[in-house]
Amino acid sequence: MKSVLPVLTVVAVILGIWLLAVIPMNMHLVADQAQRDGAMVQPDTPVARQEYSGLGLALRNPDLIPLTYQFQRPRLPSPQQVAGEMYDTIIGQNITSRRSLVYHGWVTLAPTLLGFVIGTGLGILLAVGIVYSRVMDRSVMPWAIVSQTIPILALAPMVIVVLGSMGVQGLFPKSLIAAYLSFFPVVVGMVKGLRSPSAMQLDLLRTYHASGGQGFWALRLPASAPYLFASFKIGISASLVGTIVAELPTGARAGFGARMLVGDQYGQPLVSWAALFAAALTAAALVGIFSALERVTLRRMGMAAA
């Protein structure tokens, strides 16, 4: 609770910088528009105005400054415009409407969650295989690590189109990208976690004459919980970003990615900005849910977070 005030301060500073930046960023566009509407603008031709910086122009036409905050197609929308657009599209619309961000959010969230479940499930299985099989450890693990350095996200749109041309459409292709992105963080984290019991603890189980299965369920799996939660938090936000990127080539029908693209291509910056912040809020909420689960679970298990 004691970090509420510092967070608010930092947010206030960022908002202040943002509010100040709106003036020079939009000044040229506003001046052009004001002149078309018949107002007096100094200097009076767009070419001559290009000579001045946004700030210089604002100082010469102080009466235009308020207009930069209400401009319809700004380069940088003002915070209250973005907040208004978000309020409008989240609360002001029926959630089944295509104008509602909640609708688009669900379109993005569903493949993210499906992909995350597939990815983490397969990741945990592979991690168990790697920990118990020397061959898999030696042959697969180096590739699992190298594959994390490959910018696979950049290829997500291609994968979608190729799958689409093979007749695979809808939820599944997007989930595939989300699954891939959450897969490797879980593999690497789980391998670390399953190996985290010390030699002493493993020896103790051997003195109890515990079988391999008992050792797994009673020692290795519980010991990996903190690592698993850390991987979950990385994986779920990677999945969300993956799904958003994967939405780009689908003809921009629905979802956060589609909203951002539509806003960019049809000159509606407010739509883009609202989708951008909504996506970040969704990611923060998902990570927050896992943090809460982590705290509750680890406390009941009597452990601290890794």
Partner 1 sequence: MMYIGAALLIWIAGWLLNVRLANGQFSDRMAVKIAVPAIFGLTIVIVWELLVIGFQINPVILPAPSSVAERFVQEGPILWADFKQTVLKGALVGYLIGMVAAFAVAVLADRSPFLTRGILPVGSFMAALPIVGTAPILVRWLGSDWESKAAVVALMVFFPILVNTVAGLKDTAAMQRDLMRTYAAGYWATMFKLRLPAALPFIFNGLKIGTTLALIGAIVAEFFGSPTVGMGFRISTSFGQLALDMVWAEIVVAALAGSSFYGLVTSMEKRMTFWHPSQR
Nearer to partner 1, 52 or 184 (CB): 184
Tokens standing for 110? 């569903």
Neighbours of 144 (CB within 10 A): 17
Cis omega before residue 46 (within 30°)?
A: no
- Nearest to partner 1 of 59, 140 (CB atom): 140
Rg (CA), the chain: 26
By beta-carbon proximity to partner 1, the closer residue of 2 and 209 is 2
H and E: helices and strands count for the chain: 15, 0
Nearer to partner 1, 41 or 279 (CB): 279
DSSP helix, strand, coil percent of the chain (3-state; round to 5): 75, 0, 25
Shortest separation between residue 128's beta carbon and partner 1, angstroms: 17
In 3D, which of 150, 140, 220 has the Cα closest to residue 187? 140
Least Cβ distance, residue 54 to partner 1 (angstroms):
12
Structure tokens at 235: 């994986």
Taking the complex as a whole, how short is the minimal distance between the CB of residue 75 and partner 1, in angstroms?
7
Nearest CB to partner 1, comparing residues 95 and 155: 155
Burial 179-207 (b: 16+ CB within 10 A, else e): bbbbbbbbbbbbbbbbbbbeeeeeeebee
Nearer to partner 1, 14 or 95 (CB): 14
Instruction: Please report how close the Cβ of residue 63 comes to partner 1 at its closest, in angstroms.
Output: 26
In angstroms, what is the minimal distance from the CB of 192 to partner 1?
12
Q: How far is the CB of 186 from partner 1 (least distance, A)?
A: 16
Tell me if 100 sits within 8 A of 289, measured CB to CB: no
Q: Say if CB 233 and CB 290 are below 8 A apart.
A: yes
- Which residue lies nearer to partner 1 by CB, 57 or 283? 283
CB of 58 to partner 1, least distance (A): 17
Q: Which is nearer to partner 1, 165 or 207 (CB)?
A: 165
Q: How far is the CB of 29 from partner 1 (least distance, A)?
A: 12
**Count of C-beta atoms within a 10 Å radius of residue 95:** 12
**What is the spatial distance between Cα 160 and Cα 172, in angstroms, rounded to a whole number?**
10
For 176-207, give the DSSP string. HHHHHHHHHHHHHHHHHHHT-S-HHHHHHHHH
Judged by the rule CB under 8 A, the positions of this chain that interact with partner 1 are 2-3, 5-11, 14, 25, 75, 134-135, 137-143, 146, 148-151, 153-155, 157-158, 161-162, 165-166, 237, 240-241, 244-245, 248, 256-257, 260-261, 264, 269, 272-273, 275-277, 279-280, 283-284, 287
